[in-house]
């Protein structure tokens, strides 16, 4: 009789999950609980309490100090102390901390000629050193843990320091981790360029590492451990009683993340999504909670909304031109002007004689606004160009919204009843989301009204 091979799970732990020794011991218990959790990806130690610093931020301060010249001792001490506190509380040998300090000093002695490259070398230390320390703690607990050197393992990255991307050949190389002995402890957030230099993903990038590794080893599940029980149907800061979501599709997750769902950075999970690997969001502090699973597809009921997301910081450029619909190439030329201004547009809803382009307010400087307005008037002959700042997008999402007419009626009635003025309504082409443009000051009111309509009253 053969025993079925256990599945393989990649478990990623975020900054708060590894912020101190107590948290790391929880991680260790979670790994022991399930023999298929054989690959662990760790962040740098995060905040232990509100107001605390993340080690990554301390490392950035250290790197900046070095770049500015002068003594780095105070900043270096602040970093070393974080690791020392963990070492002491976890009862592992102080040698680990001496090695950590020596490693940091080596990094500080590196060439500072290229600012981005130097910053990345320092930033990456947060995860790299933590992975070593977590390995030591696991081993002390009797777990056969092995630190994984990402250079040898082949986490190959582009050389866009601070914003690097994984190179396609990394997947082939990382595949071998599937058969690595014991428990592999992998530092998140960084990799190596072909020239052997450290390069990091954007901030929060350990999620990306986890998704890449899960895809490379063809994991059965990518578990993303953080400090919330699950993804909620609406932002709990607006709706404290918002219900947890058990199951979401990738598409639903993407739409919700786009409009402000904070749990994942939506781009972070792309590698796992491409590989079709289910993802589960779970809480390190309450591992018994089932969490939220994000899967390629799920059964759904018609008309069902799974979540409401919202975010502000948008503005709309409304362009009117009589008989616009007859003019070949108007939309393309308008979007070309947006492109020439170096802006990416978020949505471009259009009517017969008008088209709006929604852009992020932070990128839409007054200079860009003036330049674009001039070009739209002169080159496109627009009758009217108006800019509306201070907009928020509120989005309802659900696979079940496909082909369901009643959803729009319910939503707009709820918004009208709450006294929220609708600036714009846009049904995504995927038909699994509907977006409402409202004034930023009405955002919370809109979310509350929609939650009531789809979750309280229809429940
Ligand atoms: N430590 C990095 C950051 O704070 C990456 C991460 O935690 O995912 O951005």
What pLDDT was estimated at residue 278? 96
Which neighbouring-strand residues pair with 294?
Answer: 248, 279
The DSSP annotation for 31-72 comes to HHH-TTEEEEEE-----SSTTPPPHHHHHHHHHHHHHH-S--
* Closest residue to atom 2 of ligand 1, CA basis: 204
For residue 167, the CA-to-ligand 1 centroid distance in Å is 20
Residue that has been written with the tokens 């496109």 in this structure: 380
Q: What is the CATH number of domain 307-456?
A: 3.30.2130.10
Does the domain formed by 18-220 have CATH 3.40.1160.10? yes
* Closest residue to atom 1 of ligand 1, CA basis: 44
Q: Is 447 exposed, middle or buried (0-12, 13-18, 19+ CB in 10 A)?
A: buried
Give the residue among 80, 42, 43 at the shortest CA–CA distance from 59: 80
Measure the CA–CA gap between 112 and 220, rounded to whole angstroms.
42
C-alpha neighbours within 13 Å on the C-beta side of residue 180: 27
For residue 275, the CA-to-ligand 1 centroid distance in Å is 23
Give the residue among 78, 80, 22 at the shortest CA–CA distance from 53: 78
Question: Sheet harboring 433-439: ordered strands across?
Answer: 354-360, 307-320, 384-397, 433-439, 424-427
Residue that has been written with the tokens 């605390």 in this structure: 52
Burial 294-329 (b: 16+ CB within 10 A, else e): bbeeeebeebebbbbbbbbbbbbbbbebeebeeeee
**127 CA closest ligand 1 atom index:** 1
User: CB under 6 Å to ligand 1: residues?
Assistant: 15, 43-44, 54, 56, 126, 188-189, 203-207
Sequence-ordered list of residues with C-beta below 8 angstroms from that of 140, at least 6 positions apart, any chain: 90, 91, 92
For residue 122, the CA-to-ligand 1 centroid distance in Å is 13
**44 CA closest ligand 1 atom index:** 1
Which neighbouring-strand residues pair with 210?
Answer: none
* Closest residue to atom 5 of ligand 1, CA basis: 204
For residue 56, the CA-to-ligand 1 centroid distance in Å is 7
**205 CA closest ligand 1 atom index:** 8
**57 CA closest ligand 1 atom index:** 4
For residue 257, the CA-to-ligand 1 centroid distance in Å is 18
* Ligand 1 site-directed mutation target among 42, 54, 186, 203, most atoms within 8 Å of CB: 203
What pLDDT was estimated at residue 268? 83
For residue 333, the CA-to-ligand 1 centroid distance in Å is 40
For residue 268, the CA-to-ligand 1 centroid distance in Å is 12
For residue 378, the CA-to-ligand 1 centroid distance in Å is 46
* Closest residue to atom 6 of ligand 1, CA basis: 204
What pLDDT was estimated at residue 459? 59
Cβ contact 264:281 at 8 Å: yes
Measure the CA–CA gap between 379 and 385, rounded to whole angstroms.
12
**209 CA closest ligand 1 atom index:** 8
**202 CA closest ligand 1 atom index:** 9
Measure the CA–CA gap between 438 and 444, rounded to whole angstroms.
10
For residue 12, the CA-to-ligand 1 centroid distance in Å is 12
For residue 188, the CA-to-ligand 1 centroid distance in Å is 8
Going residue by residue through the chain, which has 459 residues, state the pLDDT in tens, using 9 for 90 and above.
445 556 999 999 999 999 999 999 999 999 999 999 999 999 999 999 999 999 999 999 999 999 999 899 999 999 999 999 999 999 999 999 999 999 999 999 999 999 999 999 999 999 999 999 999 999 999 999 999 999 999 999 999 999 999 999 999 999 999 999 999 999 999 999 999 999 999 999 999 999 999 999 999 999 999 988 888 999 989 999 999 999 999 999 888 887 766 666 777 888 999 999 999 999 999 999 999 999 999 998 888 899 999 999 999 999 999 988 888 999 999 999 999 999 988 888 888 899 999 999 999 999 999 999 999 999 999 999 999 999 999 999 999 887 667 888 999 999 999 999 998 888 776 789 999 999 999 999 999 999 999 999 765
Question: The whole model's pTM is what?
Answer: 0.86
- Quote the distance between the C-alpha of residue 271 and its chain's center: 12
* Ligand 1 site-directed mutation target among 120, 150, 198, 206, most atoms within 8 Å of CB: 206
**14 CA closest ligand 1 atom index:** 7
Measure the CA–CA gap between 408 and 395, rounded to whole angstroms.
12
Helices 73-90 and 21-33 pack at an angle, to 10 degrees, of 50
Kind and range of the H or E element at 360? strand 354-360
For residue 54, the CA-to-ligand 1 centroid distance in Å is 8
**204 CA closest ligand 1 atom index:** 8
Cβ contact 219:279 at 8 Å: no
First to last CA, the chain: 49
* Ligand 1 site-directed mutation target among 188, 200, 225, 226, most atoms within 8 Å of CB: 188
For residue 437, the CA-to-ligand 1 centroid distance in Å is 32
- Quote the distance between the C-alpha of residue 299 and its chain's center: 26
Q: Is 334 exposed, middle or buried (0-12, 13-18, 19+ CB in 10 A)?
A: buried
For residue 341, the CA-to-ligand 1 centroid distance in Å is 31
Largest Cα–Cα distance of the chain, in whole Å?
A: 79
What pLDDT was estimated at residue 201? 96
Show the CA angle centred on residue 164, arms to residues 159 and 170, nearest 5°.
85
Which neighbouring-strand residues pair with 192?
Answer: 156, 198
**Could you tell me the residue ranges of all domains in the chain?**
18-220, 307-456
**201 CA closest ligand 1 atom index:** 5
Cβ contact 242:236 at 8 Å: yes
**How do the residues of the chain divide into helix, strand and coil, expressed in percent and rounded to 5?**
45, 20, 35
**15 CA closest ligand 1 atom index:** 7
């Amino acid at each position: 009789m053969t025993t079925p091979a256990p599945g393989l799970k990649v478990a990623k732990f975020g900054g708060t999950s590894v912020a101190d020794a107590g948290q790391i011991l929880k991680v260790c218990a979670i790994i022991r609980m399930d023999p298929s959790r054989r690959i662990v990806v760790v962040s740098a130690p995060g905040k232990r309490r509100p107001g605390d610093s993340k080690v990554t931020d301390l490392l950035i301060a250290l790197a900046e100090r070095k770049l500015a010249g002068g003594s780095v001792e105070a900043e270096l001490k602040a970093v070393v102390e974080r690791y020392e506190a963990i070492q002491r509380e976890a009862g592992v040998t102080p040698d680990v901390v001496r090695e950590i300090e020596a490693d940091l000093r080596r990094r500080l002695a590196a060439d500072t000629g290229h600012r981005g490259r130097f910053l990345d070398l320092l930033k990456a230390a947060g995860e790299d050193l933590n992975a070593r320390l977590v390995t030591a703690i696991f081993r002390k607990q009797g777990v056969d843990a092995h630190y994984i050197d990402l250079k040898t393992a082949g986490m190959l990255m582009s050389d866009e320091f601070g914003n690097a991307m994984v190179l396609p050949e990394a997947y082939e190389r990382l595949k071998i981790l599937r058969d690595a002995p014991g428990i592999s402890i992998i530092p998140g957030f960084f990799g190596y360029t072909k020239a052997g230099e450290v390069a990091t993903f954007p901030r929060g990038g350990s999620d990306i590492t986890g998704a890449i590794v899960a895809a490379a080893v063809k994991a059965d599940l990518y578990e993303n451990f953080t400090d919330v029980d699950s993804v909620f149907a609406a932002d709990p800061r607006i709706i404290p009683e918002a219900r947890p979501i058990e199951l979401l599709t990738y598409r639903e997750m993407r739409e919700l993340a786009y409009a402000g769902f904070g749990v994942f950075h939506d781009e972070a999970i792309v590698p796992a999504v491409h590989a079709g690997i289910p993802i589960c969001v779970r809480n390190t502090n309450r591992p018994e909670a089932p969490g939220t699973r994000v899967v390629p597809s799920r059964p759904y009921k018609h008309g069902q909304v799974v979540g409401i997301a919202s975010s502000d910081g948008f503005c709309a450029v409304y362009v009117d031109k009589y008989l616009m619909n007859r003019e070949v190439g108007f939309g393309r030329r308008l979007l070309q002007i947006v492109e020439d201004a170096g802006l990416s547009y978020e949505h471009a809803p259009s009517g017969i004689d008008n088209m709006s382009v929604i852009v992020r307010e932070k990128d839409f400087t007054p200079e860009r606004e003036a330049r674009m307005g001039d070009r739209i008037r002169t080159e496109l002959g627009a009758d009217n160009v108006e800019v509306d700042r201070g907009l928020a997008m509120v989005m309802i999402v659900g696979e079940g919204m496909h082909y369901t007419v009643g959803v729009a009626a319910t939503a707009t009635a709820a918004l009208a009843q709450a006294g929220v003025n609708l600036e714009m309504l846009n049904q995504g082409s995927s038909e699994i989301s509907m977006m409402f443009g409202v004034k930023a000051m009405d955002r919370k009111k809109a979310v509350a009204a929609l939650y009531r309509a789809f979750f309280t009253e229809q429940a």
